[in-house]
Amino acid sequence: MQKGKVSADELISLILHGIEEVKGVEINILDLRDLDNTVCDYFVICNGTSNTHVKAIVNSIQKTVSKAIHDKPWHVEGSDNAEWVLIDYVNVVVHVFQKQAREFYDIEGLWGDARVTLVESSFN
């Protein structure tokens, strides 16, 4: 599949697969399409348990997406300390947190009007 020809749903499915491959936990999808002044259509948010786990989740997401649709993120931020890594696929932005950083920044609270989908995982 060519870049730009994949739907947001397909991209999210690949991202979720990448997260679940390395046992990311507390996965939420925030649908931002009905909100004003948003930078993207969806946030996918999850936790890792350590710097190493966060990096593994980020690598798994990028590898899964790249392998399936030959697409690289537009931007990746936060990889150095791996407490909060943002992966920007333009219409879908992934936030991979360590638990304390996720609680501190409270993305779900900031975007409280978004529709939230909790993704059930066997690892939670």
Residue 13 lies in a domain: yes
Average pLDDT over residues 5-31: 96
Residue 90 lies in a domain: yes
Ramachandran assignment for 109, one of left (phi > 0), alpha (psi -120 to 50 degrees), beta (any other)? alpha
Q: What percent of the chain has pLDDT over 90?
A: 89
In a domain, 47, yes or no: yes
27 is a domain residue: yes
Q: What is the mean pLDDT of residues 84-113?
A: 96
pLDDT at 6: 86
What is the chain's length?
124
- The residues that bridge with 84 in the sheet, in sequence order, are 97
User: How many structural domains are present in the chain?
Assistant: 1
- Tell me which residue range forms the domain holding 84: 8-119
Q: Average pLDDT of 66-87? A: 95
Cα gap 66→80, rounded to integer Å: 21
Q: Are 79 and 85 in contact (CB under 8 A)?
A: yes
CATH of the domain at 70: 3.30.460.10
